[in-house]
């Protein structure tokens, strides 16, 4: 629906509402009584309605401002906790949990299933993606890294904190290495969030196990004379 269609629809609804009001007996009775009042009384009533209208117009944005202020204070109070969560979950090359690569698709499926435990609506869950980090990888050779990106929409601050905390606690073989938060354009006070969980592992050593030892020279044994 474009802007012109929306404008025509609003005008049509306003005209329908106006006709209903004009045909209402109660409204006509009030209008007749108003017209019989002295001009000073009419001006006083009009001024009162104008004042009431101005108060309503001022109150509506003020209410939004108050709500935004509450959300801002709540966000500030949780910001330090979120930073601490990132600091704890961030991979440290000197202490990283180096494990075998394992079945990444199975781990991805576990992550997707875990999202169902947070009582989210269907449209809030975008999905889980698996990508290999290259440029911004925290791993140093020979350690390798695989990144699971969990994309969620329209989360409040409590949900962001709870989900991040549970992911770190329930998936010991993963490290939280990123958290991207962007305000939702459609719903004030809610955020679109991406959790980045990394799996660090050493490359498989199967290639070394099958190494051909036929070309190795036997060690000489020296006997004491």
Select the more confidently predicted residue: 191 or 37: 191
pLDDT in tens, 140-187: 778 888 999 999 999 999 999 999 999 999 998 899 999 999 999 888
**Which of these CATH numbers, 3.40.50.1360, 3.30.360.10, 3.30.70.60, 1.10.600.10, describes 72-203?**
3.30.70.60
Report the alpha-carbon distance of residue 173 to residue 194 in Å, rounded: 19
Catalogue the long-range contacts made by 217-220 (C-beta closer than 8 Å, 24 or more residues apart).
none
Enumerate residues 6+ apart whose C-beta is below 8 A from 173: 97, 99, 102, 107, 199
pLDDT in tens, 88-140: 655 444 444 446 778 889 999 999 999 888 889 888 999 999 987 666 777 77
C-alpha torsion 49→55→61→67, nearest 10: -130
Please indicate, yes or no, whether the overall pTM of this predicted structure exceeds 0.85.
no
Domain ranges of the chain: 72-203
pLDDT in tens, 179-219: 999 999 888 889 999 999 998 888 764 444 444 444 444 44
């Amino acid at each position: 629906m474009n802007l012109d269609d929306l404008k025509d629809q609003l005008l049509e609804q306003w005209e329908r509402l106006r006709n209903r009001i004009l045909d209402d007996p109660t409204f006509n009775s009030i209008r007749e009584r108003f017209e019989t009042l002295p001009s000073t009384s009419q001006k006083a009533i009009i001024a009162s309605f104008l004042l009431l209208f101005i108060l309503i117009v001022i109150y509506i944005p003020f209410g939004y401002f108050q709500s935004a202020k509450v959300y801002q204070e709540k966000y500030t109070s949780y910001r330090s906790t979120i930073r601490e969560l990132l600091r704890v979950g961030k991979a440290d090359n000197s202490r990283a949990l180096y494990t075998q690569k394992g079945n990444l698709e199975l781990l991805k499926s576990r992550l997707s299933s875990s999202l169902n435990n947070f009582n989210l609506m269907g449209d809030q869950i975008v999905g889980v993606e698996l990508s290999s980090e290259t440029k911004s990888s925290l791993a140093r050779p020979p350690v390798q890294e695989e990144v699971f990106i969990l994309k969620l929409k329209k989360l409040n601050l409590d949900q962001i904190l709870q989900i991040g905390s549970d992911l770190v606690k329930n998936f010991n073989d993963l490290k939280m290495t990123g958290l991207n938060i962007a305000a939702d354009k459609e719903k004030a006070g809610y955020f679109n969030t991406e959790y980045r969980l990394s799996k660090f592992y050493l490359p498989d050593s199967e290639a070394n196990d099958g190494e051909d030892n036929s070309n190795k020279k036997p060690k000489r044994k020296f006997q004491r004379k």
